[in-house]
């Protein structure tokens, strides 16, 4: 009876040993699992890199330019101040220039002179600051007017009037760096204090 029990126990032990060996042989090792995961990750990264290269190539070959960022929230730069109506400028097609620009008071009408009519040039431009010359009829500049005042207030006539004094028959001239006042006619060359030239008159002023 004891021998039968021993034989039965031996069979059970052999059966369990075979099951353990079978289970061990069919379970993948940790090293094998890590190797498999590493290969899969490498393949995934390779696919992503190839997809990115293909996308960049498509963008370079596209006939449409890239879309610029939206200007929402951006402000345009401020526009320069508008000059008064009597501002010098370039010569328009069919226009002309004064050969010897005249400076004068209000007794001499503004415009371009002709062979029989004297006129004060109203399209003067400064050679120093390259700005148009503004004129104000019936006023002359006060002694307090200086370069700094003109620099900070030109061409705003409402601010320039702070240094203008009323005078009958006078005409005040100013650019951004020079100023003068006249009641009698003269020329820029004869005056010699300002570096101004005629910027050109449109045809309608001839």
pLDDT tens across 32-71, in order? 545 555 555 555 556 566 776 776 676 666 555 555 555 5
Question: Do 200 and 148 share a structural domain?
Answer: yes
Q: Is residue 73 part of a domain?
A: no
For the chain, the farthest-separated pair of C-alpha atoms sits apart, in whole angstroms, at 157
Q: Is residue 200 part of a domain?
A: yes
pLDDT at 80: 39
182: confidence class by pLDDT, cuts 50, 70, 90: very high
Question: Do 118 and 200 share a structural domain?
Answer: yes
Q: Do 102 and 185 touch, CB atoms closer than 8 A?
A: yes
Residues constituting the chain: 206
Q: Is residue 117 part of a domain?
A: yes
Question: Do 189 and 113 share a structural domain?
Answer: yes
Q: Is residue 96 part of a domain?
A: no
Q: Is residue 47 part of a domain?
A: yes
Q: Is residue 23 part of a domain?
A: yes
Query: Looking at residues 166-179, what average pLDDT do you find?
Result: 97
Q: Is residue 124 part of a domain?
A: yes
pLDDT at 202: 86
Q: Answer yes or no: is pLDDT of 128 > 90.
A: yes
pLDDT at 44: 57
Q: How many domains does the chain have?
A: 2
Q: Answer yes or no: is pLDDT of 184 > 80.
A: yes
Question: Do 181 and 118 share a structural domain?
Answer: yes
Residue 146 vs residue 68, higher pLDDT: 146
Question: Do 165 and 109 share a structural domain?
Answer: yes
Residue 95 vs residue 183, higher pLDDT: 183
Question: Do 111 and 50 share a structural domain?
Answer: no
Rounded CA separation 26/22 (Å): 6
Candidate from 106-110, 112-116, 186-190, 197-201 with smallest mean pLDDT: 112-116
Domain finish residue from 61, 87, 112: 61
Question: Do 111 and 161 share a structural domain?
Answer: yes
Q: Answer yes or no: is pLDDT of 121 > 90.
A: yes
Q: Is residue 39 part of a domain?
A: yes
By residue range, what is the domain housing residue 156?
A: 102-205
Q: Do 135 and 175 touch, CB atoms closer than 8 A?
A: no
- Strand, helix or coil at 159? helix
pLDDT at 203: 79
């Amino acid at each position: 009876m004891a021998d039968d029990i021993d034989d039965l126990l031996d069979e059970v032990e052999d059966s369990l040993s075979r099951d353990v060996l079978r289970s061990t042989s069919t379970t993948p090792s940790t090293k094998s699992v890590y190797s498999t995961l590493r290969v899969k990750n490498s393949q995934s990264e390779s696919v992503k890199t190839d997809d990115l290269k293909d996308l960049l190539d498509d963008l370079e070959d596209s006939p449409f330019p890239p879309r610029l960022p939206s200007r929402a929230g951006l402000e345009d730069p401020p526009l320069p101040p508008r000059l008064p109506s009597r501002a010098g400028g370039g010569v328009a097609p069919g226009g002309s220039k004064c050969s010897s620009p005249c400076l004068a008071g209000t007794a001499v009408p503004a415009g371009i002179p002709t062979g029989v009519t004297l006129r004060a040039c109203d399209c003067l431009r400064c050679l120093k600051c390259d700005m148009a010359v503004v004129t104000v009829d019936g006023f002359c500049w006060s002694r307090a007017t200086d370069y700094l005042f003109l620099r900070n207030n030109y061409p705003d006539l409402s601010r320039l009037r702070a240094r203008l004094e009323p005078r009958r028959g006078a005409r005040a001239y100013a650019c951004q760096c020079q100023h003068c006042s006249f009641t009698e006619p003269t020329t820029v060359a004869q005056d010699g204090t300002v570096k101004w030239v005629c910027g050109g008159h449109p045809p309608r002023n001839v």
